[in-house]
Amino acid sequence: MTPPTVQRGIMTRKLAFLFAVAGGVAVGNLYWAQPLLALIARDLHASTETAGLLVTLTQVGYAVGVLLVVPLGDVLDRRRLIPVMMLCCAAALAACALAPTFGVLLGAITLLGLTTVSGQILAPLAGDLADDDHRGSVVGTVVSGILTGILASRTVSGLVADAAGWRAVFAFAGVAAVVFAALLYRAIPPLAPKTRMAYPTLIASVGKVVVRERTARWTMVLGATGFGVFTMFWTALTFLLSAEPFHYSVTVIGLFGLAGLAGAVAAQRAGRLHDRGRSLPATGVAWALALAAFVVAAFAGHSVVLVLVAVVVLDIGVQALNILNQLRMFALSPAARSRLNTAFVTGNFVGGSIGSAAATLLWSAGGWTAVTVAGMTACTFALLVWAAGRRGPLVVPAASR
């Protein structure tokens, strides 16, 4: 019996919404610990600086998971692959909730990063199921859900931790993962693999497509830099808000994530700009916004208003960048979207791991000032890369121009 082929153009609003929420729940797992670093450190007798490893190792695990698991979306039935990965993620969340020591928690949270890759399988699947004229809008909706999960996870984490302790946060997320595994198994249509190849060949082909496509390499540099400054900012912000002069609780720190939800709206708008062929100029504008955010943040060490302004502007810029970069990658090869997404997201989370580690080092060396200067430097570098790529012999898919 011949397996069914991918059915394009069947992405409904209801299915896109489910993908968005499920992706947000999945990717939000990477950030539960971020506003809880000081609380976890006290409970498990670790220093605040050491607690920063929780964020770093989650992202390292995630980058490895994206590299080794997400390419399977091109060769396996995603109706089965996605729920299986969500159930594996639920098991890792349970291990985090039950971890008796800080060392065990570090191991469990690394496994959590490794298994929480469902959102990055859902995004290219949404691109496959959408028609050509609305692909940017559909993928933008799904990615906006993922971004909302990243930001809302900090708020939910703080609220749940204040009410029931930090372990309850991971237990709650584990139950949610099981629920969405069941919902997605029922909602995703049966899908045939887009190609057939041995696993080693599949993984090797990720590197080959990056070597072959200059646009992919250029986009990956911009993506990794953007996610690096984003993670550096949010990791350091936890240290800033829990110290003098703010001394905010984990609940209040978590609420700052709500200010960044404007970035989710920006992702949807950026998807529409891609559909209209304005990807490249919009990318430059987004980087200019990120640079402006760090300039504002440099003066925000004693002003919660300026902190909020920096949060909103940075999230609008970085989240718009993320969807524009991702759509540009998808346009390179419809048959290899999962592998292209693998390359893109792996690069992003390598950048994110560097960013979170840099935040801890910069905070120890020079506090908030050192963090904001590093952010401005990185954004200036990205603007130069964007300008050089746009003016050079860069081949960009027609839908992305």
pLDDT in tens, 272-294: 777 777 888 999 999 999 999 99
The conformation of residue 7, written as its DSSP 8-state character, comes to -
- Mean of pLDDT over the chain: 85
Please list, residue by residue across 312-342, b when 16 or more beta carbons sit within 10 angstroms of its beta carbon and e when fewer do.
bbbbbbbbbbbbbbbbbbbbbebebbbbbbb
Ramachandran bin of 277, using left for φ above 0, alpha for ψ from -120 to 50, beta for the remaining angles: left
Instruction: Please state the pTM of the whole predicted model.
Output: 0.74
Contact predicate 293/378, CB 8 Å: no
In this predicted structure, what is the pLDDT of residue 392? 55
In this predicted structure, what is the pLDDT of residue 299? 93
Q: Which residue has the tokens 């931790």?
A: 161
The conformation of residue 6, written as its DSSP 8-state character, comes to P
Q: H or E segment at 120?
A: helix 118-129
19 vs 125: CA distance, rounded Å: 9
pLDDT exceeds cutoff 90 at 226: yes
6 vs 85: CA distance, rounded Å: 21
Q: Is residue 400 part of a domain?
A: no
Distances (CA, A) of 338 to 100, 120, 342: 37, 8, 6
Q: Is residue 2 part of a domain?
A: no
Q: Is residue 342 part of a domain?
A: yes
Q: Is residue 239 part of a domain?
A: yes
Contact predicate 209/339, CB 8 Å: yes
- Domain around 291: 13-394
CB neighbours (10 Å) of residue 278? 16
Alpha helical stretches, state H, 7-74 = 13-28, 37-43, 48-51, 53-69
Q: Is residue 111 part of a domain?
A: yes
Q: Is residue 5 part of a domain?
A: no
Report the range of poorest mean pLDDT among 192-196, 320-324, 350-354, 375-379.
Answer: 192-196
Q: Is residue 4 part of a domain?
A: no
pLDDT exceeds cutoff 70 at 4: no
Query: Which amino acid, 335?
Result: A
**Tens-digit pLDDT profile for residues 342-358:** 889 888 878 988 998 89
Q: Is residue 207 part of a domain?
A: yes
Can you give the CATH number for the domain in which 167 is found? Answer: 1.20.1250.20
How many domains is the chain built from?
1
Q: Residue 190: is the preceding peptide bond cis (ω within 30°)?
A: no
Q: What is the mean pLDDT of residues 41-54?
A: 81
Q: Which residue has the tokens 């947000």?
A: 24
pLDDT exceeds cutoff 60 at 7: no
